Structure 1
Amino acid sequence: MCFRTRTLSSKKYQICYLITYRSNKNYGNMDELEKAQNLLAETAQLAKSDPTLIRVCQKLSRKIKADLQFLQRHRHKTNTNTHDLTSSNVPYLSGVLRVIKESNQVQDVICDMRKYGIIADVICDNGKTWKKVIARNPQSLHLIWAGKGQYGTKDVVKKACKYADCAKLHSEISPPQVVCVFCNGVTYDMAEALESKGILVDGERVDVSQEVIDKLVGVFSESSDDSDSDDNDYRSFGAPNQMNLSPPSSLSIAEALPLDQAKCIEEIRELPSYEKVFLDITTMLVYISDVCNGGCEFEFTEKILLEQAAAERRGSALKTISPNMTDRLLVTCQSAMDDYWGIVNVMAGEEETRRARELSDRITVVADTMSARFASLAASGQIKERSKVIFGTADCLKCEILTSNEGFVRAAAAQDIHIPAILHQPRALSEQKKVQGSKHSQ
C-alpha cells in the first residue's frame, strides 16, 4: 500500500487534514464476496498481532460480516440487481482497516456521534483525531460537489466543513483534528475548494474528466438564465452553507458574580489552553502526598496505602502532573479548594501541610461557575454534584483539567460530554499512616 503524508502546516487554524491513498493490492479479479472474506481474515489477523486493537477489530468485523451475509444471500439469486453485488461496503470497510493500521492509539471505529449528526470512522491519538474514510470515485465526488449528483447524495466538501465545526463544538479547548481519507483521489478543483476553507489536502490529485466537464457545462447553461451570480461557476457549487452551529453556552458570569470575580474568570477564559490548567482535588492531593515525595519506601498498615506505595515505586504520579503544571497558570474553584483543605486539616502530616500551603499560594481560586452543558449532566453513580461543579467550572474557564477521577470522565463521555482531561493515578495523604522505622524491603 502506498500511503503519502506530510507534516501538518504550522497554521493553527487548519484543523482538517485530508489524505489520499491507493491500495497496491490487486483486487481486480476478485468478486465482492471474496474481497469481503479476505478483508475479514485480514481484520482478524490484525487483532491477533496487536491486542490493543481487539475491540475495534471486533467492531469492524461485525460490519464486514453483515456485508458478507448480504452478499452470500444474494449471490446466486437470479433476480438480484448486479448493482447490489458490485456496490457493497467492502471498499469503504477496507479503507477503514487501512486507516486503523496507519493510525496510533485507536480508540473506536465507525463511531456514531448522534449529537453532531456525523460518523467518525476512526477515532485515534487518544481521541485527538477523527478520521473520515471516503471510498468513492473522484469524478463522482466532483459531480456531487458541483450539484449534479443524485438527489440526497451528500457533498464531501460540505461534510468536511461540518466535521471541522463539530470538532470545535466537541471541545472548545482542544478540538480534535479532523482527517478525511479519500481512497481513490480528489480532483484539483475540489482540493482548491477545501484549501480555501483552511482544510489541508494531501495525496494524488486528478483532473476533472471530459465527461464530467460536459455534464457540468450543461448544468451551467441551464442555470445561467436564472441568475448572474458567481455561484453559477461549477467550482463553487460545492461551497458549504453557513452552519447553524454554536458552541455550548455557559452560565452568565457577569450576572452571577461580583465584578472582580467576573473579570478574573473572563481573563482566564481568554488565555490559550497551553497557558493554563485546572487542578482537581485529586491532583492537589497527589502533589502534596508523602508517598509521592519520598514516602513510598515505607510500610503501611492500610491496604490501599500499600498498593499506592507499590504503584509509586513502579512509576511516580508526579511525573505525569508536574510537567503539566510548569509555566502554566494553576486554577481551581472554591469548592475544590475548600474540600482540599478539609482533607488536609484532618489527614495531612506536618510536611504534607507545608506542601499544601506552598501549593495553595501558587493557585488562582475562582468562584464555582458551572458551564450550562455540565449543569445538564444527569446524575449517576459516577456523576456527583460536587464533581459536576468542579469539572463544569474547568469547562467554563476553557481549561484542561488534571484529575485522577477517570470514572467521571468516562461517565460524562457516555452522555456526549467529552472532557479534555489529563489523567493520572490517585494518591492518598500518607504521612501520618506510615509505620515509623519500617521500610519496604527491596
Structure 2
Amino acid sequence: MEICEENIKKLAEEKIFLGKNLIEQLDQYKTIPGAQKIQRKINQEIKFLQKVVSTNSIKLNHVMCSNLTHYQFLVKILELQKDVVHIDCGFPVEERNNPLRVDIVCENGLKWIKAIARNSKSLTDAANGRASYGAKSIIDQAEEFIYAANQNLCMFRKPKVVFYFSHEIENEILEDMKEIGVEALSITNQQPLPGDVGVLNDEDNSETDYADVSTLNLDITTMLAYISSLTNGSTNWSFREPILTEQAKRERESPLKPVLDKIFEGKRLICCETAFQSFQDIVNLLAGDMEKQRAKELMERVEIHKDVQEIPNEVSVINVGGKINPRSLKIFAFGITMKALTITSNKGFIRSAKMQGINVPVFIHQARALTESKETTAQRL
C-alpha cells in the first residue's frame, strides 16, 4: 500500500513539474489574448496537486483527472500554428446562453481549433450514445462549431474548423465529422500546415491570400503612399525629418508601389467620402506638383461612396479613443459594410481593435508620407 501511495505521489510531482514547464512555454504567447488566463488555470491545477501532496491526501484520481493533460495537448497544438490571435476565445452563438469556447483562434481568425485529449473509447461511446445523460458527443460538438462559425465570419469568410485529437479515432467518426465540415487531425502525425493569411501584411514572410477579394477599400494612408514621391522613384534623400529619411531608406530596400499595384490589379477600388475629403485636404496642403498630378490620376480609378450611416455590428463595439478616432472607425466600417478588404498602414487602429477582440479585414503596408515639397530642403545622397 505504501509503495502504491509513493508512486501516486511521484506521478503528482511529475504533473506539477509538467505544469510549471507549460507556464514557461506559454510565456512566449503572453501578448496573445487568453494566454495568461490559461497560465492562471494551469497554476490552479498545480496548487491543488501541491496541496493534496503536502497533506498526504493524494489519490490516483487526482492525478489521472488533472486538466494538465489537456493543457499539455493544447500547448503542443499551439506550437504548430501560425498567426495566433486568441487562446480560449468565446464566440456568441444564437440560441446559446453562453459563448462557444474555441481553444485556439489562428491564421488571423480564419481557423478555429478545438483540442480533444479524451481517449478513443470515451469518444466512441459518446458518439454512439453510451455516455452520461446530457453529455455532448464529438459529433454534436462538431455541428455546434460549424453553426457558430457560420455566425462569426472573418474576412467575410467562415472560419475553418479543425479538431485535434490526442488519440486515434474511428474512421466512422472521421467520416461523420468530414460530412459536417470539420477537419479532424491527430497530433501524432500532424505536420505544421501552411494556411491562408487572414490579416494580410506585406511586411511578414507569409504568402498573402487576397485572390478571392474583389473590392478594395483605400484608406487615406494608402492613397498618400501610392502618390508619394518616395514610392515613385525619388528615394535618394536625407531629409530634415528623421522619419522621412527612414521611410526613404525602407523604400529603397523594399519598394511599396509594386506591392500595391499587384494588389490593385483587377480589383474594384473604392473609398468613402470622409477618406476622399481628408486625402484631398492633405494633398492640397502638402503635396508637390507631381504628387498632385498622381492624386488626380489615382482618383480617376477610385469610386467614391457616401459614408456609412450606421456602424456595422462587427465593429460597433469598438471604443473610440487612443489610436481609434471617429474618422478611422468610419473608414474601416465603410470597408466592412461594402464587404471590401481595407488597404491601410494604420497599424495603431488595427492593434487597438485587436486588443478589443475585433479582427478587421485589412492588408497592412508600410507608411509613406508626401515628400516632394520636402526635397528642396533635403540633402541628396
**Paired residue for 1:384, among 325, 329, 336?**
325
CA spacing shift, 1:197–1:410, aligned 2, 3 Å: same
Q: How does 1:236-385 map to 2 (within 5 A)?
A: 273-369=212-308, 370-373=310-313, 374-385=315-326
- Paired residue type of 1:113: G
- Paired residue type of 1:276: T
Find the aligned partners of 1:46 and 1:200 in 2 and give their Cα distance.
Answer: 25
Alignment correspondent of 1:84 = 62
Alignment correspondent of 1:33 = 13
CA spacing shift, 1:179–1:198, aligned 2, 3 Å: closer
Alignment correspondent of 1:407 = 348
Work out the number of aligned pairs and report it.
Answer: 343
Sequence identity percentage: 29
Find the aligned partners of 2:146 and 2:311 in 1 and give their Cα distance.
Answer: 23
Extract unaligned runs of 5+ from structure 2.
1-7, 94-98, 188-210
8 Å Cα contact 1:36-1:64 kept in structure 2: no
Alignment correspondent of 1:22 = none
Find the aligned partners of 1:140 and 1:403 in 2 and give their Cα distance.
Answer: 49
Give per-residue Cα distances to partners, 1:96-127, cap 9 Å, x unaligned: 12112322344443x33254513332333344
Does residue 120 of the first structure (1) align with residue 106 of the second (2)? no
Give per-residue Cα distances to partners, 1:305-364, cap 9 Å, x unaligned: 223223323433335433222221112112211221121122111111111112111112
Find the aligned partners of 1:161 and 1:348 in 2 and give their Cα distance.
Answer: 55
Give the secondary structure class of the aligned counterpart of 1:402.
strand
8 Å Cα contact 2:146-2:181 kept in structure 1: no
Find the aligned partners of 1:152 and 1:33 in 2 and give their Cα distance.
Answer: 34
8 Å Cα contact 2:69-2:117 kept in structure 1: yes
Find the aligned partners of 2:231 and 2:41 in 1 and give their Cα distance.
Answer: 46
Alignment correspondent of 2:196 = none
Find the aligned partners of 1:354 and 1:55 in 2 and give their Cα distance.
Answer: 44
Find the aligned partners of 1:295 and 1:395 in 2 and give their Cα distance.
Answer: 35
Does residue 140 of the first structure (1) align with residue 122 of the second (2)? yes
CA spacing shift, 1:174–1:289, aligned 2, 3 Å: farther
Alignment correspondent of 1:155 = 137
Extract unaligned runs of 5+ from structure 1.
1-27, 205-271
CA spacing shift, 1:161–1:321, aligned 2, 3 Å: farther
Find the aligned partners of 1:157 and 1:181 in 2 and give their Cα distance.
Answer: 14
**CA offset at residue 62 of structure 1?**
4.3
CA spacing shift, 1:407–1:155, aligned 2, 3 Å: farther
CA spacing shift, 1:162–1:398, aligned 2, 3 Å: farther
Does residue 95 of the first structure (1) align with residue 66 of the second (2)? no
- Paired residue type of 2:11: D
**Paired residue for 1:187, among 170, 189, 193?**
170
8 Å Cα contact 2:106-2:112 kept in structure 1: yes
Find the aligned partners of 2:51 and 2:262 in 1 and give their Cα distance.
Answer: 57
Find the aligned partners of 2:31 and 2:333 in 1 and give their Cα distance.
Answer: 31
Find the aligned partners of 1:413 and 1:337 in 2 and give their Cα distance.
Answer: 26
Give per-residue Cα distances to partners, 1:362-414, cap 9 Å, x unaligned: 11222222443134533222332222221111111111111111222233333
8 Å Cα contact 2:269-2:303 kept in structure 1: yes
CA spacing shift, 1:382–1:115, aligned 2, 3 Å: farther
8 Å Cα contact 2:91-2:148 kept in structure 1: no
Find the aligned partners of 2:47 and 2:348 in 1 and give their Cα distance.
Answer: 38
**Paired residue for 1:422, among 356, 363, 373?**
363
Alignment correspondent of 1:72 = 50
Give the secondary structure class of the aligned counterpart of 1:282.
helix
- Paired residue type of 1:183: S
Find the aligned partners of 2:319 and 2:143 in 1 and give their Cα distance.
Answer: 31
**CA offset at residue 76 of structure 1?**
5.0
**CA offset at residue 290 of structure 1?**
0.9
Alignment correspondent of 1:197 = 180
Give the secondary structure class of the aligned counterpart of 1:112.
strand
Give the secondary structure class of the aligned counterpart of 2:324.
coil
CA spacing shift, 1:172–1:432, aligned 2, 3 Å: closer
The TM-score, its normalising length taken from structure 1, stands at 0.68
Give per-residue Cα distances to partners, 1:30-77, cap 9 Å, x unaligned: 724304414643664686xxxx65656776554433322211111354
**CA offset at residue 287 of structure 1?**
0.7
**CA offset at residue 136 of structure 1?**
0.6
